[in-house]
Amino acid sequence: MSRKRWSPCREPVQPAETTNPTKVMTPDQRVRYKTLFMVLLMVVSANLGDLMLKRGMVQIGAVEMSPSGLWRALMSTAHNGTIWMGIFFLIGFTFCYMTAVSWADYSYVMPAGAFGYAVQTFLAVVILHEAVSGRRWFGVVLIVVGVLLVGQTHPVTTSPKAVSS
Amino acid sequence: MIRVVLMLAFFIFCSTSGEIALTYGMKMVGEPASFRPAALLRFLSKALRNGWVWTALPLLAGSFYSLLVLLSWAPLSVVIPATAFNYVVGTLGAKYILNEHVSKKRWMGVAMVCLGVALVLING
Please, are residues B13 and B62 in contact by the beta-carbon 8 Å criterion? no
Q: Is B85 on the interface with A (CB under 8 A)?
A: no
Please, are residues B35 and A86 in contact by the beta-carbon 8 Å criterion? no
Q: Averaged over B27-50, what is the pLDDT?
A: 91
> Would you say residue A117 lies in a domain?
yes
Task: Give the chain B residue whose CA is nearest to the CA of A137.
Answer: B120
A51-60, A75-84, A106-115, B12-21: lowest mean pLDDT where?
A51-60
Q: Is B112 on the interface with A (CB under 8 A)?
A: yes
DSSP-assigned states of every residue in B49-83: T-HHHHHHHHHHHHHHHHHHHHHHHS-HHHHHHHH
Per residue in A57-95, pLDDT (tens digit) is: 888 887 777 888 888 888 888 899 998 998 999 999 999
Count how many domains chain A has: 1
Pairwise CB contact (< 8 Å): B100 & A105: yes
Owning domain of residue A143? 30-154
Tell me the residue length of chain B.
124
pLDDT of residue B35: 84
pTM of structure: 0.79
- Which of B43, B102, B117 has its CB closest to that of A107? B102
Per residue in A3-41, pLDDT (tens digit) is: 444 444 444 444 444 445 556 778 778 888 889 899 999
Please, are residues A147 and A114 in contact by the beta-carbon 8 Å criterion? yes
Given a cut of 90, is residue A100 above it in pLDDT?
Answer: yes
Report ipTM for this prediction: 0.88
> Would you say residue A24 lies in a domain?
no
